[in-house]
Amino acid sequence: MIESLEARPVPAPYRLMGVLNVTPDSFSDGGRFLAPQAAVAHGLELVAQGAEIIDVGGESTRPGAEPVGRSEEIARVEPVLAGLAAAGSGAQLSIDTSKVGVAEVAIAAGATLVNDVTAFRAEPEMAALVADRGVDCCVMHMLGEPRTMQDDPRYDDVVADVKAFLEERLRFAVSEGIAEARIMLDPGIGFGKTVAHNLELLGRLDELCSLGRPLVIGTSRKGFLGRIAPSAPGPEERLPGTIATNVLALERGASVFRVHDVAPVRDALATAAATLHGPWAGLSRETTATS
Ligand code: HH2
């Protein structure tokens, strides 16, 4: 007999994090939103599609990407964050940076989440800034650094290694004064990982739930999806793989989904959550429906 949908536990509401890269060289949307007005308009469009977080980045982290100087990164992200804040969209603004100087300006412009793909290793003072300003943060796993991270990455057990890393970084963040309730963890799909590593992490994502913090997952349009699906050579052809992996991640306990294509992923997650947990699971914006 099929168990009643209502009887199943409802997970914490999930949130979509829309990607807004203000860079010339990001792997899938580089150069498209360099003009601040275009970037703000796209950010608002992502909010209209259901993003509750907008993650603004001014430096690409794709394999082989060249580093960007602090003032250039600030010049890219500050007007966009200020524009989104002024528009009052209601979405949380996130700054995707590893530089304290950039995060400081971004927070002043309206960001309340620091997404540091180096997990406070590039500039450890970042943790003190996050603690001092009382903002949220996302701490991500990466093996090596973007320029070289895809050069033969190796692990004993990728899930156990990533879990140990995140546990240590969580302890560090708390020791620096960040409230545990403000910390999210991310296994860093594609950051120093082979296709097999990414799939192992996705398949065993539930093993990271015991860390006790919300899990962020970022598979959107990433290269490993193109390696698996023969008809998805380019980033913009990887929506089916993006949806499949985000649905699997939801089922295995992720609660924040970092994506470029907000509307279709949102529909897929709403359907998956309704199937797993009942019709209204995860709906944090709408509260009613008629049929
Ligand atoms: N992936 C990218 C950048 N930032 N942050 C988190 N927390 N998790 C991720 O998986 C993640 C991230 C890479 O994607 P994208 O921003 O689209 O590309 P680029 O780094 O080339 O700008």
DSSP, residue by residue, 117-143: TTTTSS-THHHHHHHHHT-EEEEE--S
For residue 260, give the ligand 1 atom closest to its CA.
Answer: 17
For residue 25, give the ligand 1 atom closest to its CA.
Answer: 21
Q: What is the mean pLDDT of residues 30-47?
A: 92
Predicted pLDDT of residue 146: 73
Mean per-residue pLDDT over the chain, rounded: 90
Helix (H, G, I), strand (E, B) or coil at 203: helix
Q: Is the model's pLDDT at 157 over the cut of 90?
A: yes
The owner of tokens 């895809």 is 150
99 in active site: no
Q: Are 16 and 259 in contact (CB under 8 A)?
A: yes
Of 255, 248, 197, 252, the residue nearest 227 (C-alpha): 197
Centre of ligand 1 from the C-alpha of residue 90, in Å: 22
Q: Which two tokens stand for residue 207?
A: 């093993």
Q: Is the model's pLDDT at 3 over the cut of 70?
A: no
Q: Rounded to the nearest 10 degrees, what angle do helices 125-133 and 158-175 cross at? A: 60
The pLDDT tens digits of the residues spanning 187-216 come to 999 999 999 999 999 999 999 999 999 999
What percent of the chain is predicted at pLDDT more than 90? 76
Q: Ligand 1 atom 9: the closest Cα is on which residue?
A: 218
What percent of the chain is predicted at pLDDT more than 70? 91
